[in-house]
Structure formats: C-alpha cells, structure tokens
Amino acid sequence: MAFGYLLSYLFRTINAALAPYLASDFGLTASSLGLLTSTYLLAFGLMQIPLGLMIDRFGVRRVQGINLLVTACGAGLFAAAESLGLLMVARAMIGAGVAVSLMASFASFIIWLPPRRVPLAIGLLMGFGGLGAMLAGAPVEFLMETVGWRTIFFGLAIATFAVSVAVLLLLPDSPRQSSSWSRLLSGLAAIYATRLFWRIVPLAILTCGTAFALQGLWAGLWLSDVAGFEQGQVAAYLSIMAFGLLVGSIACGPMASLSERCGLSLVHLVGALSLVFFVTLALLSAGLADLALPCWFLVGFLINPMSLTYVVLAQSFTPDMAGRVNTGINVLVILGSFLLQAAIGWVLDLWETDRAGRYPVEAYATAFGTLTALGLLALVWYWFGGDRGAPADRGDGARD
C-alpha cells in the first residue's frame, strides 16, 4: 500500500518537472499544460465515489490491486503517446487508477487499528508519498537528461504493474459488506447531510486542493518565471518542497499527539495550519523570490497535516463507512484541485509571455492572490460556520 501511494504521488507531481519538455515536444501553452495536468485530477476525482462504494462492498485488496493495473496501462500509453489527446487519455487512466491509493489505506487503518494509532499510521504512509514527490524533482530531472521522459514512463508502468501484483497476492482482505447498493448510497447521503462535513469541505479544497495544484504543476513554473531560476535550480527547489512534504508527513502523528495533550482537537490543529498556509501563499503571490526556499518548503510541509480533517470525519462514523467517508470528501477536494489547476493557467494566459516564454510576476500575483482571498474566507467559515465537533445530524453509521 505504501509503494502504491508513492507511485500515486510521483504520477501526480511529475508534470512539474516534465512541463518544459512536454511544452517543447507538443507545442503546449500554459492553459494546455494546465488542462493536461489537471486531467489526472478530474479522473481521480470522478472515481472517488464509485471506488469508495466498492471499497466498502468488495474490500481494499481487490479494488486497489485492479486499479493499479489500470494505472500501469495508462503509464504505458503516456510513454507511447504522439498527440495531446492521447496524453490526456493516458493521464486520465493514471488518475483513475491511483484514485484510491490513499483512501484505501485510510480505510484499512480505520478498520484494523485503534483510533489513537491512526494519525501515526497515516503519517508513515504519507512519508512514502513524500518520497514519491522527491523522486519527481531532481531524480526525474536527471533521468530526463539521460533517458528521456518516455523511458521514464515505461519504467513507471513496469513498477506499477509489480506493485499491483503484490497487492493482489499479499494484502489481506478487509471486511466486506453484503448491503445493497441502495443502502450503501443512503449511507453516503447521510455523510453529505452532516453540518461538520460542509464546514470542512471549502477549507479542504482551498488548502489541499490548492497545494496539489501548485505541487503538481505551477510551483515549477513560478520558480522559473517569477524567481528566474534555471531548470536545474527549479528541480532542486521542487525536491526541497518534496522534502518538506516528507517531513510534514512524518510530523502528522507527533503534531496530532501534541495537539491532544494541549487540549486541542485535530480540527483546531488543521485550522491553525491552514492559516499558516494562506500566509505562505500570500508571500508567494507577492513574488518574494528571496523567500522561495522557506515558502515552498512550507507548502510541501503543510499538505498532509492539513489532510488530517479526513481522519476527523472518518472517526465520526462507524468503520464500515470508512471508504465512503474518505472518498466523499476527497472527491470534492480533487475536483476542486482540478478546477484550480486549470483556472491558474487561464489566469496566466490573460498576460503575454516574454521572449523566453515566461509569464510576468503580475500574472502569478493575480492567480495566487485570488486563491489566498478565497482561502481566508473559507477559513472564516471553518471557524464560525457551525459545530466543530461530531456531525450535527447523526445519519446512518454515525457514532460518538
């Protein structure tokens, strides 16, 4: 499961390093790059609800194993693609295939582990996601110069196939339900009916969704266009951001424990971390290149700790609903990230590029500044929009 999540994160973020090469080989504009990269997120998001139902119905092993087979096929197609259309189809297959790599693991932990161990287990798993993000930086840039992006994707196809086989052969079965599809869907509707769910969703989209969009593509272009870095420096900074993600992932458990000792819930912890994220985004929107290193490290560091809201929601319901709870919020976060990633490209295209193909600082200031303002509004709703405890409306499967 950890290697599956590592590959998921590598596929999600690799376009940040590949962007200049894909733009050169296929003549892509910023909006085309944004659309191509966000196709992953669209397919990823659309598959959340069906796969969440399937996890609760058929178990983690079957769903995750078969999905990784789809991912392997998508990676192979991406390597062989000769047009933007085929790249988008391949990217969509990859996104659909890895759609539940994290959520399936969350469901497994919630089913099998004591609640107090879940944040630590998630932190360790997310550490592998951080490793995947680090591989998408300087190591991918080195391989780009030696073997090219097509060979990289053929290699990833083989690796993903191997992990799929391992999951199908070695992962134990999780409990499966005999409930009808209509009952499973009614449980999902009960999740969406809770006040806590809708208080968290806007903030989750504007934090996790924005961070995914930045890490997946726009961080690399900001470093090139605003900070004026060469490609080697960009790859190094992307690796630093990925290292921040690794550190933040490992810190999830200790931060959750420390917060609990201080009498604060995970919900309060996520709110505080979100404020730090929006301050960092405001600094980036101001074009402060001198602060690029700490800012992008912080963006990486905060991605997974802010995802602890998923745990808050999941632990408010019974374990048999774990798949639906996690994918129920994740679908909105991922679809939001898809829209945000594409929207940043549309905003940038409102400006002309210079002779080097770089967008002006004002373009990034507008795009990032707008996200900062929306995020602060979501944070206000998060604190004052209703009960910060357990779900207000106890639907089917809710618990104390």
CB 394 within 8 A of CB 259: no
> According to the model, what pLDDT value does residue 285 have?
94
Return the HEC string of 75-103.
HHHHHHCCCHHHHHHHHHHHHHHCCCHHH
Residue 64's closest CA among 182, 173, 138, 211? 173
Residue type, 292: A
Structural domains in the chain (count) = 1
Query: Residue 353: which pLDDT band, with cuts at 50, 70 and 90?
Result: confident
Q: Is residue 290 part of a domain?
A: yes
pLDDT tops 70 at residue 338: yes
* CA atoms of 124 and 126, how far apart (whole Å): 5
Residue 102 lies in a domain: yes
Reported in sequence order, the residue ranges of the chain that DSSP labels E, i.e. its strands, are none
DSSP state of 307: T
pLDDT (tens digit per residue) in 209-218: 898 888 777 8
Spell out the alpha helix ranges (H) of 98-171. 101-112, 118-135, 138-146, 149-170
At 236 the pLDDT is 85
Flag whether 396 is in a domain.
no
User: Could you tell me the CATH number of the domain that includes residue 20?
Assistant: 1.20.1250.20
Say what percent of the chain tops pLDDT 90: 30
Categorize the per-residue pLDDT at 400 as very low, low, confident or very high, splitting at 50, 70 and 90.
very low
The H or E element spanning position 210 is: helix 210-213
Q: Which residue has the higher pLDDT, 116 or 99?
A: 99
pTM: 0.70
Q: What whole-number distance in Å separates Cα of residue 170 and Cα of residue 168?
A: 6
Q: What is the number of other CB atoms lying within 10 angstroms of the CB of residue 203?
A: 26
For residue 146, is pLDDT > 50? yes
- CA distances in angstroms from 340 to 34, 184, 296, 300, listed in the order given: 9, 30, 18, 17
Exposed, middle or buried: residue 111 (CB in 10 Å: 0-12, 13-18, 19+)? middle
Q: What is the pLDDT of residue 73?
A: 96
397 within some domain: no
**How high is the mean pLDDT of the chain?**
84
pLDDT of residue 58: 82
Position with higher pLDDT, 191 vs 320: 191
pLDDT at 390 over 60: no
Tell me the average pLDDT across 274-287: 95
400: in domain = no
Domain that holds residue 308: 2-384
Confidence of residue 180 (pLDDT cuts 50, 70, 90): low
In a domain, 82, yes or no: yes
**Which pair of structure tokens corresponds to residue 382?**
């998060």
* Spatial CA neighbour of 45 closest among 303, 311, 333, 324: 333
Model confidence pLDDT, tens digit, residues 11-25:
988 877 788 888 888
56 to 60, 70, 110, 193, 268: CA distances (angstroms): 8, 20, 12, 19, 29
Give residue 392's pLDDT.
Answer: 36
The more confident residue out of 285 and 19 is 285
Contact 135, 10 (CB under 8 A): yes
pLDDT at 121: 81
Comparing 3-12, 48-57, 266-275, 291-300, the range with the smallest average pLDDT is 48-57
- Does residue 339 fall inside a structural domain? yes
| pLDDT (average), residues 369-392 | 79
Q: Is residue 272 a part of any domain in this protein?
A: yes
Q: Is the pLDDT of residue 35 over 80?
A: yes
Distances, alpha carbon 120 to alpha carbons 56, 220, 255, in Å: 23, 30, 10
Of the listed ranges 86-95, 160-169, 304-313, the least confidently predicted one is 304-313
